[in-house]
Amino acid sequence: MLWTTSTSSQHRYLDKHSSNGEIIKHKFYSLSYLESHEQAEWVTYYLYPDFLKGNAFRKNNFRPDLKIQSKSADSRDYAKSGYDRGHLVPAGDMIYSTESMSESFLYSNIAPQRPSFNRGIWKNLESRVREWGKSFEIIVVTGGLLNDGNLEKIGPNNVSVPKEFFKIIYAPKENEMIGFILPNQKVLDGIWNYVMTVDEIEEITCIDFFIELDENIESSLEAKFDIKKWQ
């Protein structure tokens, strides 16, 4: 279970997903780490209004994740690579405390992102997710698409560069899910052009999300989305 002060305790165990990697549980998020790609295939965390009332400052203390048994990527992999050290759990979502902010800078939470993507449409989507988190409790799942056999590699640890990234948002009280897959490149149109059902993202990623949800509820939520409710 992830750390949470949320009062909706009935939703605290809905953050589990199928995994092809090593499951790592940090205090403020969990992840599945793929050594073959030197990054997480997914990270998952809770976001809700009280959590986003913090005021921790960004410190940029990037460092290896010592919990990874096979060792994680490190700063050498990104140096002069031309790629940003893109957060999967955004630093902006971890302002609750100095500890939560610091956890977001572990290299297990980082993936190579093109600067125009990381500082463009990806940033826009992250901001939108925070707006939802300020309004109601959500569970967020994020990762790069790593099941492509022809991914660029960077650094001495051969970190894979995803061609696309996904993000899934589940609002348990609102009984709504929505997902996105965005290309790791400069994008000029808006996030709503990249909406997908969770079912579609599961088919592409070969990951089964929210495996502890009641099967009937899971099937219903993952098969559809209602853009009007999220807009």
Low-confidence ranges of the chain (pLDDT < 50): 1, 3-11
Q: Per the domain annotation, does 4 fall within a domain?
A: no
State the CATH number of the domain containing residue 82: 3.40.570.10
Cβ-based neighbour number of residue 206 at 10 Å: 12
Residue whose entry in the numeric block shows the structure tokens 């499951």: 23
Q: Per the domain annotation, does 3 fall within a domain?
A: no
pLDDT of 10: 46
pLDDT of 13: 54
Residue-number span of the structural domain to which 124 is assigned:
9-230
Q: Per the domain annotation, does 57 fall within a domain?
A: yes
Q: Per the domain annotation, does 161 fall within a domain?
A: yes
Instruction: Residue 167: name the closest of 158, 178, 156 by CA.
Output: 178
Q: Domain total for the chain?
A: 1
Q: Per the domain annotation, does 1 fall within a domain?
A: no
One of 11, 17, 26, 87 is an active-site residue; which one?
87
pLDDT of 11: 46
pLDDT of 31: 97
pLDDT of 7: 41
Q: Per the domain annotation, does 49 fall within a domain?
A: yes
Question: Could you tell me the pTM of the whole model?
Answer: 0.93
Going from the C-alpha of 173 to that of each of 13, 110, 207, the distances in angstroms are: 14, 30, 24
- Mean pLDDT, the chain, rounded, equals 93
Q: Does the annotation mark 87 as catalytic?
A: yes
pLDDT of 141: 97
pLDDT of 9: 45
pLDDT of 216: 87
